[in-house]
Every structure is written in C-alpha cells, then in structure tokens.
Structure 1
Amino acid sequence: MSQGTPPLTVHCGSKDDDFGNRTFYTGQDFNWSFRTNFWGSTLFFCRFWWGQKTTAFDVFDANWETKGFHHTYTYVVNNQGFYVRYDETPSNHMLQINKWP
C-alpha cells in the first residue's frame, strides 16, 4: 500500500481459528504459522476492507501443497490488487491473484 492511503482491515480465520479484525497501515505486516490437519483439509480465508472496497478469498488451502513440501506464502496488497509469492520464488516475482472489485 502506498503512503497516505487508508488503512487496510483484514479478518482471517479457518474452521478452528479466528484471528479477528486487524487494521494495517503502510509497511505493517501480519503472519502466523500452523500445520495442516491430519485429514489434509486445512483452509484459511481472509476478508479485506480498504476504504469502500471489500473482497475475500482463500489464502491457504492444504490442497495447494505438494506432498512432503510446505510453502511459506507472502501476500502483498496495493491499489491494484493482491499478490503472492512462495518461499522458493524470487522476491521480485509476485503473482497477482486477485483484484479489488
């Protein structure tokens, strides 16, 4: 997010965990770690509010993981949308995964 932009409010959770609403300003971050459940059905989702814009999507699904290898997902939000990179991806290569409506 650029300097001078409104704060971003995020609500993330899963079936078993709820991180509540968190408000972020330019340069702030939020992270958590976990292990997928025995059944391989772990799913985390987030809803985002930025000014008048809102959107929601899954930020982790156990089905995305390659057996035996677990990723670190890094998400970045800006006025164009949402970007992700994985731990083995170069830091200058972000994939756009969602746009603001």
Structure 2
Amino acid sequence: MSQDSKPVTVHCASGDYDVGNHTLYYRQDFNWQFKTNFWGTTLFFCRFWWGPKTKAFDVFKAKWDRDEYHHTYTYEVNEQGFYVGYDEEPSDHMHGFNYL
C-alpha cells in the first residue's frame, strides 16, 4: 500500500483463539505464533477490510504444513489485490507471491 492509503483492518481467529482486530497503516505488519493442535486440525482464517474492499480466506491449515512444508506464511495487500508468500520470501516485492 502507498503511504497515503487508507489503513487495512484485519481480524483473525481459529475455532479456539481469536487474535482480534488490528488496524495496519503504511509499512506496518501484524503477526502471531502458535502450535498446531494434537489432532492436526488447526485452522486460522482472516478477514481484511481496505476501504470498500474486503476479502476473507484461510491463512493457515495444519494440513498445509504437512503437505507443503511451509513454516511462515506472509500476506500482502496492495492496490492490485491480496497476495501470499511462503517461508522467508521477502515481502518488499511481489516476486514469488501468489494472488488470492
């Protein structure tokens, strides 16, 4: 997002834990850490609001961790849309990010 953009509001939760609402301004980020549950059914989802745009999607499923071996998920919002990157991919450019 550009420096003059409206902030992005994010609300994330799982069935057991509500991470809460967070308002993010230019160059701010928000993150949390957790462990998957014993049964391997952990699921986190987030809803994003940015001006008139809104998008909700799963941001972590325990199955992804087993199948794809990713340990860090990075989500980025810009004028073109919502993107996801994996592991230690830099978030200052879109190379390697997938459009959501």
> What is the TM-score with the length of structure 1 in the denominator?
0.85
Matched residue pairs, number? 96
Q: Which amino acid is the alignment partner of residue 5 of structure 1?
A: S
1:66 positional shift: 2.5
C-alpha RMSD of matched pairs (Å): 1.7
* Separation of aligned partners in 1, 2:38 and 2:99: 28
Counterpart in the other structure of 2:30: 30
Q: Which amino acid is the alignment partner of residue 97 of structure 2?
A: L
Counterpart in the other structure of 1:61: 61
* Separation of aligned partners in 2, 1:14 and 1:23: 19
* Separation of aligned partners in 1, 2:13 and 2:4: 28
**Unpaired runs of 5+ in structure 2?**
none
> What is the TM-score with the length of structure 2 in the denominator?
0.85
Quote the sequence identity (%).
Answer: 65
Task: Give per-residue Cα distances to partners, 1:14-62, cap 9 Å, x unaligned.
Answer: 0011122110101000010111001110000000111111110000011
Counterpart in the other structure of 1:96: 98
Q: Aligned ranges for residues 64-79 of structure 1 at < 5 Å? A: 64-66=64-66, 69=69, 71-79=71-79
Query: Residues 72 and 87 of structure 2 are in contact (CA less than 8 Å); yes or no, is this contact kept in structure 1?
Result: yes
Counterpart in the other structure of 1:4: 4
1:15 equivalenced with 2:15 (yes/no): yes
Q: Aligned ranges for residues 42-57 of structure 1 at < 5 Å? A: 42-57=42-57
Question: What secondary structure is seen at the aligned counterpart in 2 of 1:65?
Answer: helix
1:95 positional shift: 2.0
